Amino acid sequence: MAKTILLGTVVALLLFSGAAFAGMTCAADAYRNSCSGCGFDASGKMNQTCYQQKKAGGIACVSASHAIASAAYAAGKCPGIDSCASELQRCQSQMGTGSDKENCAEGSVGTCFTISDMCVDKAALECGEKPPECKAPAAMIMLVVGLVFAAGYVRKV
C-alpha cells in the first residue's frame, strides 16, 4: 500500500513538473499584465498606450523564447505564427464582450491568449525550434531522486 502511494506521488510530481515547464506563456502573461496594470476609461476601454506596451513585451518574450522560429519568421518563413495571430484575433472577437474591463474580469479572452501561446509553441517547433529543455528547479529534481530512493527502501521493508 505504501509503495503504491509513493509511486503515485512520484508520477504526480513528474507530471506536474513537466506540465509546469512545458511551454512559455508570453501572450497570456502580457494580457494578464495589461488587465492588472493598465487603466480603463468610464466605458471599460483599456488605456491603449499601456496595452500596446504590454503587447510589445509579450512579442519580445515570444522572440526571446523562440529565437530560431523568430529568425525564420523574419525571413518570411514560418507561416504558422501568422496563423496563430489570426486565430487569436478570431478568438478575441468571438469571446469578447465589447468591454475590455469586462473581458479582463470574466476571463474567456484570457483563454484565447493561452491558446495562442500553445499555438506559437507548436508553430515554432514546426519551424525548426528545438523543444524546451527541462527547467525544473534542482530542488524538484532532488525531491524526485529522494522519493525514488525511498521507494527502494519501502520495497526492502
List CB contacts of 28: < 8 A, sequence separation 6 or more: 110, 113, 114, 116, 117
Average pLDDT score over the chain: 80
| 40 bridge partner residues | 46
For residue 98, what pLDDT band results from cuts at 50, 70 and 90? Answer: confident
Return all residues near 90 (Cβ < 8 A) that are at least 6 apart.
none
- Residue range 38-49, pLDDT digits in tens: 999 999 999 999
The 10s digit of each residue's pLDDT in 50-75 is 999 999 999 999 999 999 999 999 99
Phi/psi at 43 (5° precision): -90, 5
